[in-house]
Structures are given as structure tokens and as C-alpha cells.
Amino acid sequence: MAGELMAEGPRPADLAIGIDFGGSGIKGAVVDIKTGKFVGDRIRIPTPQPSVPRDVVALMDRLVHMLIEALPPVGGLTPADVAAVPVGVGVPAATRGGVVLTAANIDRAWIGYPAERELALAMGRIVAVGNDADVAGMAELRFGAGRRQRGTIIVLTIGTGLGTALFADGKLLPNTELGHIELNGGDAELRVAESARDRFNLGWKEWASGFDAYLHALERLFWPDLFILGGGASKRADNYLQYLTVTTPVVVATMKNNAGIVGGALLAYDRRLRETARAAAEPIA
């Protein structure tokens, strides 16, 4: 029952909504950012085709309404708390200051689109937008395979595109876009993303030899302490891990499909903290 106290429930102030903008589906959930667990169900809606900004923003706004309506009872949650739940969105592109800068696998109309501002206007909430691999990486470092790991870590999201997140002692260097380095004279993503397996009809061994060459290229450039493999291909890692020959330890992401959502929620939570601190520091006119 709404308003009923739950014995061990999340604190209202720890709730944030994470949204993962994928090529085929837009997924979201309310997350307890202290545990990284979903509060209520994850909801997935097919990505509009073409994935133009106006339609995607309207769909994300609808998704947030659905998530709020489906929120199970959380002790002490007031309507004001619900209205203050922030939203974080991982987009499959480089972003700076909330503006989308690239569009490798989404509609080109996203280039230059002020996503953060438009989503905040549509939703009437605090919204933070970041790169999808960066936010997934944040979730893996906080709750998943990168937990308590120091040093240089590269998280890869291998799906429709090839995303990367680079961390040094837990600190993210955003928008690395290492999926687009040159490999054998072409864009690495076109050969190494999971979608390349279908496009070129590659068996696992063949695909893995390209992926291994790509990991070697990253190894030569960054000498990381750890690679974490996430995204769709991480679910099928048993098919190709044995073909990888890099000296850097390679582990599979543990948060699987949920990393993007949980990472989005972490981004949203941090943004709200910063906005609250800034508002508190402002002199009263």
C-alpha cells in the first residue's frame, strides 16, 4: 500500500531513475543508488525509428511517468520526494555539457542537440546526460566487476556499437570513444562491435581474432590493469574468452544489461547532489 513503511526499504533521497538509450530499446528503472538495486520493475520500450530527438524525448518522458506510477511503496516517500527523483540518461554518443556531439548509431539529428536541457524541460526534473559506456562503466566500478579495483581500467561495451570508459583509480575520463580508433585501416567498431558478427557473418573464433587485435591495440596505448567486457557480447563471453591473448587481465562485466540503467541513476544522483550544494551556496537576494 502506498505510504506504508517497509522494514528495510530504500531512503527516498537515495532514489534516482536511470535510462539507457539503446538502438532497439529504451530501458529504465528506479534505482536505489546505495545498493544499485532496482526499486520496482525495469521497463523497456522499443526505440522509435527513426530515433529522432523529439520522439525519443517524448518516449523517455512517458517512460519516467510509467516508472513513477509503478513504484512500489517506499517508506516515507512523499509526493515532493517523488517529484524530486532525478533522471540520468546514457546516450550512445559523446556528450559535453549535456549536448550530444556524435551519432554513430543514432539518427544524425542528435548531433548538436541539447539533450539535457530538452529532457529537463519535458520532465520538469533534474536530468543529467552522459555517454552510455561511461555510465555503464561507473556502475561496474561501483557495484560490479570493477568494485574496489584501482589502477587503469578500461570498460568496453560491445553491442550495436563499441563503447569505452576509461578510469584511473576510479576517476572517469569521459567520452574516450576508443571504439572508433583505426584498426586495419578502418573504424574498429565496424569490425569489432557485436553487430559486426552478423554483418560479416563471422564465427566466434573469427570475430574473436579481430577483437583480440583491438584489445592489443588498446593495451599498447594504455597498458591498463584491467579490461572489463560489458554489453551484449559479455553475455556470450564463453564463446570467445579462450581466444584472447592480451597480457592485461580480462573479466566479464557482472551487471550485464543493467549497468546502463544503474549508471544513469548514479549520474542523476551526483547531479542532484551538486545542484543542491550549489543552491545552498547561493546568496539569498
Whole-Å CA distances, 230 to 59, 86, 158, 182, 246: 26, 25, 6, 21, 17
Between CA 214 and CA 78 the distance in angstroms is 50
Q: How far is the CB of 196 from ligand BGC (least distance, A)?
A: 12
**From 16, 57, 67, 94, residue interacting with ligand BGC (rule: CB under 6 A):** 94
Chain residues 185-214 in contact with ligand BGC, contact rule CB under 6 A: 189
> Does 50 sit behind a cis peptide bond, omega within 30 degrees of 0 on the bond before it?
yes
CA-based nearest residue to 211, from 185, 179, 238? 179
Q: How far is the CB of 59 from ligand BGC (least distance, A)?
A: 18
Q: What is the dihedral of CA 92, 190, 174, 263, to 10 degrees?
A: 50
Q: How far is the CB of 113 from ligand BGC (least distance, A)?
A: 14
Q: How far is the CB of 99 from ligand BGC (least distance, A)?
A: 13
The verdict on 230 binding ligand BGC (CB under 6 A) reads no
Number of residues interacting with ligand BGC: please give it, by CB under 6 A.
16
Site string for ligand BGC, 40-79 (x = CB under 6 A): ----------------------------------------
Contacts of residue 116, Cβ cutoff 8 Å, sequence gap at least 6? 95, 97, 98, 99, 127, 128, 129
Helix or strand run (H / E) with residue 130:
strand 127-131
Chain residues 105-144 in contact with ligand BGC, contact rule CB under 6 A: 105, 131-133
Under the rule (CB under 6 A), what is the footprint of ligand BGC? 92-94, 102, 104-105, 131-133, 157, 161-163, 177, 179, 189
